[in-house]
Amino acid sequence: MRDGFSGTLLALFAVFAPLSLLSFGGGNATIADIAHQSVAVHHWTGDREFADLFALSRAAPGPGSMLCALIGWKAAGVPGAIVATVAFYLPASFVLFVVAKVWGRWRGSVWHQAVERGIAPIAAGLFLSGGLAVLRVTPAGLAAWIAAGLATAALLYWPKLHPMPLLIVSGAVFGLIDLLGVRL
């Protein structure tokens, strides 16, 4: 029994730590892999249950990839949740920390500046692309593009505005449209 439990914790670590180091473009890039590993390979959740956990992770605050905490919880309770979370965030954070420290050492040299200034626009482009990727796959279609456009305009116009009111209004409007059965 004890062996089975620590075996599960080890397996959680072995699944999430490599994914951490492969999650280029943010945690969401790994969701398909997380699904494959936890449903097909390790049977920590069923298909349906995975969809429920995914919905739950979307409804809660924090990084979308908090999904891994829920998988860990299903597989091995609270210790499982902690192991999965640490495994998913620690390796990538450690690598970033080391690179940031080493990189910072050359600050001020011409080539360092050129690399930083050269990568900055690509980083900004990838950042923007992350938003567009959400719109490309959303089931809400045109309504999502309109809501995103309005929110973008409002946030640019009022730089100090807290985003929360916009989230609440947009969520409420979408919920209402759905309950009234209107299709856009």
Window 110 to 169, contacts with another protein (CB under 8 A)? 110-111, 113-136, 138-140, 143-145, 147-156, 159-160, 162-164, 166-167, 169
For another protein, the closer CB: 3 or 171: 171
d(CA 138, CA 60): 18
Map residues 59-98 to x or -, x wherever contact with another protein holds by CB under 8 A: xxxxxxxx--xx--x----x--x---x---x--xx-xxx-
Distance of closest approach, residue 129 Cβ to another protein, in angstroms = 3
Two structure tokens written together for 56: 């739950």
Neighbours of 74 (CB within 10 A): 19
Give the C-alpha distances (Å, rounded to integers) separating 80 from 45, 102, 159. Answer: 13, 33, 40
By beta-carbon proximity to another protein, the closer residue of 14 and 124 is 124
- Asked whether the beta carbons of 62 and 76 are under 8 A apart, the reply is no
Q: Is 51 in the site for another protein (CB under 8 A)?
A: yes
Residue 14's identity, in one-letter code, is A
Least distance (Å) between residue 90 CB and another protein:
10
